[in-house]
Structure formats: C-alpha cells, structure tokens
C-alpha cells in the first residue's frame, strides 16, 4: 500500500501546530511531516510537541540540516523521541539549503562528504555502538548513547543530486525527495539509489523507502495558487509537477508517483493554504480512500 501524509509548513506560526496535529491524529492521517526551515521552526522541538499532543500519527522531520548539528546531539535527540514515542518519529537528514548554511557560518566545502560521515556515525550511534572517528568533519572520541533506541531507527537522507542519491543508497535507509521531483525524476532517483545500494553490498538488505513530496492545492483558487508557487520556485516550466483539483485528481497524481517508485507520498500544501486543518482532513478522509 502506498503511504500517504501531509505537511505542516513552517510558514504557519508554531502555535498553529497543535490543532493541525490533533486533527491529523483524529482523522486517521498516517504521517504528518514538519520542516526545519531557516529561520522558522525547529524540527526536534516541533516534532516533540506534535508527538506529545497525539497518540498514533507518525511524525516526520524533513529534514535536519547536518551542517547545523553535531551528530551526537542529533543521535541523543532522536533516541529520546524514539524511546518516548516508539515507532512514531521519522527522521530525515540532509545537506540543508546552502545559502542558509552560509548565513549561519556552517557551509562546508564538501556537503557530500559531511553527509556521508554524519549518516555513518548517526546510524552507528542509534544502533547503540560506541564510536571513535576522526573524519574530515565528524569527530567523536569514545561516544555512545546511554539511552539508545529500543528498536531500529531508519535514517532517511533528503537529497537531490546524482552523487547524493547514490550516497543515500549506500549509507541511508531511505530517501526523501522534494516537491520538485516529477515521476520521471523519481524513476531516475530510484535507479541511482539502487546503484548505490549495489556498490555498497546492500542490495539484499531491508527495502529502501522513497518518500516524495507532492505540491497540492485544492479549492476554486487551487490552480492559481499552485501556478504562483511553482513560478516563485522557478519550476513553472517543469512538466508534471504538483496537482490542483479534487480528491480524484490528487489521488491520480499520487498514483503516478507511486508507479514511478515512491513508497510514500506526502502532500505539501501551498505556502498560502487558507485552511491547514481542512487540508489535513481532505488528505485523510477524501484522498486516502482513493489511493490503493
């Protein structure tokens, strides 16, 4: 079955999260995703609050920029969430937006090297291993978590370029693709990820989950809002991006991404979505029954 979720975008004030998270839980939504966009809302703090306010919905953090975070801190925070809310937090890490990383003095010369080192060490710490490493960017001396997670924690890499997609196959447990990924891009990404898994000897390991965002607009002004957002992102000329329409139209767009290789599709409202609670209800109650 194709997984389905929705995003609480950080263009909304943090105090709006409680009502959206509770509605997601009550309506049966499978996954609610949050963003750590500079300089809006923190990923761990909002995820912890959403998890505490709910009982069953899984909460994804998409994503934590690795240049901003010492890997030991990331491991500590994720382990704490996974022990307090078993099975419900979903973790994605990635390069971060490079301009933002430059604004805070965290931009590195080789983002791919940093992400590889961060992934390797983060996954080891979350497995309960004791780690000493002297990498180009990641340096730990005899570090282990006192409270590692009680169950395995899949670590998803949020990436786009070919080198990073191969790296995701080599060193991550899943991949997160942005709303700029059309079905053709998803197919190519799956191929590059599989190449990475093959080169790392992981082809027979656990399945590699691909999560894809889908920009979605509903209502009579949906087509105009979708077009405006794509234009603002410089993506208006890219075919097969986003969907505007009723539940049937959205479900067909979800299915196209699933047929291309997506395991989970997370519907991303436009930044000016007028009714975030209504959007979550729409995804859970109208779109979900139409997605096999």
Calpha distance 98→165 (Å, rounded)? 17
The count of domains in the chain is: 1
Instruction: Record the tokens describing residue 71, joined without a space.
Output: 């890997």
**What is the distance in angstroms between the CA of the first residue and the CA of the last residue of the chain?**
6
Question: φ and ψ at 32, to 5 degrees?
Answer: -115, 120
pLDDT for 145 equals 98
Please answer whether residues 254 and 30 qualify as being in contact, where contact means their C-beta atoms are separated by less than 8 angstroms: no
Q: Per DSSP, what are the bridge partners of residue 3?
A: 264
Instruction: State the residue range of the domain holding 107.
Output: 3-290
Averages of pLDDT over runs of 10 residues in the chain (292 residues) are 97 97 98 96 98 98 97 98 98 97 97 98 98 98 98 97 98 98 98 97 91 97 97 94 98 98 98 96 98 94
Q: What value does the CA radius of gyration of the chain take, rounded to a whole number of Å? A: 18
pLDDT for 22 equals 98
Instruction: Record the tokens describing residue 259, joined without a space.
Output: 């047929």
pLDDT for 204 equals 82
Please answer whether residues 241 and 180 qualify as being in contact, where contact means their C-beta atoms are separated by less than 8 angstroms: yes
The closest alpha carbon to 124, from 78, 180, 185, belongs to 78
CATH code for position 216:
3.20.20.30
């Amino acid at each position: 079955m194709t997984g389905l979720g929705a995003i609480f975008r950080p263009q909304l004030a943090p105090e709006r999260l409680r009502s959206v998270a509770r509605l997601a839980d009550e309506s049966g939504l499978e996954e609610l995703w949050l963003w750590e966009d500079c300089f809006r809302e923190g990923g761990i703090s909002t995820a912890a609050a959403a998890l505490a306010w709910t009982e069953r919905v899984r909460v994804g953090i998409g994503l934590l920029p690795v240049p901003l975070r010492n890997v030991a801190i990331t491991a500590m925070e994720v382990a704490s969430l996974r022990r307090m809310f078993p099975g419900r937090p979903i973790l994605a890490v990635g390069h971060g937006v490079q301009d933002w990383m430059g604004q805070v003095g965290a931009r590195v010369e080789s983002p791919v090297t940093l992400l590889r080192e961060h992934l390797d060490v983060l996954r080891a710490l979350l497995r309960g291993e004791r780690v000493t490493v002297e990498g180009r960017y990641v340096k730990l001396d005899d570090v282990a978590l006192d409270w590692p997670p009680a169950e395995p924690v899949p670590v998803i890499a949020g990436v786009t370029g070919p080198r990073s997609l191969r790296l995701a196959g080599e060193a991550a447990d899943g991949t997160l693709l942005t709303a700029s990924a059309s079905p053709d891009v998803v197919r190519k990404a799956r191929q590059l990820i599989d190449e990475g898994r093959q080169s790392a000897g992981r082809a027979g390991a656990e399945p590699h989950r691909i999560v894809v965002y889908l920009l979605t607009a509903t209502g009579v002004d949906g087509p105009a809002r979708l077009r405006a957002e794509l234009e603002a992102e410089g993506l208006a000329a890219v075919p097969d991006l986003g969907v505007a329409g009723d539940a049937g139209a959205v479900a067909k767009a979800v299915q196209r991404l699933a047929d291309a290789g997506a395991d989970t599709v997370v519907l991303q409202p436009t930044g000016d979505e007028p009714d975030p609670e209504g959007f979550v209800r729409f995804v859970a109650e109208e779109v979900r029954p139409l997605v096999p």
